[in-house]
Amino acid sequence: MSSKKKLNIGIVGYGFMGRAHTNAYRQVSRFFDCEYEPVLKAACGRNEERVKAFAENWGYESVETDWRKLIERDDIDAIDIAAPNNMHKEIAIAAAEAGKMILCEKPLGMNSAESKEMAAAAEKAGIKTLVWYNYRFVPAVTMAKQLVDAGKLGKIYHYRANFLQDWTINEDVPLGGEALWRLDAEASGSGVTGDLLAHCIDTAMWLNGPISSVSAMTETFVKERTNSQTGEKQEVKIDDACAFLARFENGSLAIFESTRYARGHKALKTFEINGKDASISWDLHDLHRLAYFDNADGDLRGWRSIHVSEGEHPYMDKWWVPGLNIGYEHSFTHCVYGFLKSLEAGEPEFHPNFSDGVKTDVICDAVLKSARTKSWQEI
């Protein structure tokens, strides 16, 4: 029997992110040396049949159909919020008031006002929080952070990022309900800005520092869709596409773009940073590779492709042998590992936490306001 300290997890939500988070809880103690071990104590969802099937498949000990009852339980240490965005605030504040740790999906709130309330409740309660900005924990992205922090790129001039998909091009795709709530502004808060660009913004500020101003444009290409629950036509109020310019506090310039109307792209997520001395770029499609150009290479100058799989590369000594790839799901495991090690060390904060989530939501709000007003927005 394991002698590790138990961290009892109660998760709200059993969809895509519920599965991703749960897989991370199951795998982290098998591959990483942690004092704490997540225990799948309870899964919660409104559909009893679905949540029972989820719990049985993943190994949760019990189920609830009311998140309030989940939070009231004395045997739950941490609440994982993998529910639609419009549920984040109420669940998080109640969990904080009950003294539970919180691990919440992104974006933190429907807007920055909500996320600030959530962060204030967590701070008042003195609890540890996490926001699932998992791309920070892809080994190649973590390596990019190490290169930037070590000054390898020199003064940063440019940052560019995109996140492109194509799954909503068909006008017959409905909105609302369990599978398509991201297309309903009442449940999601925004479209690609909060769903996709939030990831890009978090990564950008983690790598390159705070954003100081933005100028954006958005478009909703399909103006009406059928509501999957009512069968009635409904106005689409989310942004289908967004592009914005930004300035960072370090003086560098940036271009961000996201859409769900880029035919042929299912999940093209990239970033590139250009510095005085070197440049780096990364592509989710080849997530195990980091492209690097160093001007100091002289006659050998050229873009090199670093296969991030060596034991000295971030996290890779815990997995297989050099040369073998890991995938998207491993980023969630690394995120949980960092959270557990922070808990073990008694650190007051883990990153990304609710404070980081607020910073990203503030940028998202400024982007959407800029698009509405057709003006630059200072942060």
Determine the Cα–Cα distance for residues 354 and 74; give it in Å rounded to an integer.
24
Architecture of the domain defined by 137-378? 2-Layer Sandwich (3.30)
**Where along the chain do its domains lie?**
5-134, 137-378
Q: What is the pLDDT of residue 348?
A: 86
Q: What is the pLDDT of residue 179?
A: 82
Determine the Cα–Cα distance for residues 334 and 342; give it in Å rounded to an integer.
12
Cβ of 4: how many Cβ atoms within 10 Å?
A: 15
**pTM greater than the 0.85 cutoff:** yes
55: Cα separation from own chain's centroid: 23
| Residue written as token pair 């925004």 | 190
Q: What is the pLDDT of residue 1?
A: 56
DSSP letters spanning 76-114 = --EEEE-S-GGGHHHHHHHHHHTT-EEEEPSSSSSSHHH
Say which CATH class 5-134 falls into.
Answer: alpha beta
316 and 306 Cβ atoms separated by less than 8 Å: no
Determine the Cα–Cα distance for residues 362 and 379; give it in Å rounded to an integer.
8
96 and 125 Cβ atoms separated by less than 8 Å: yes
Residues of the chain with pLDDT below 50 are none
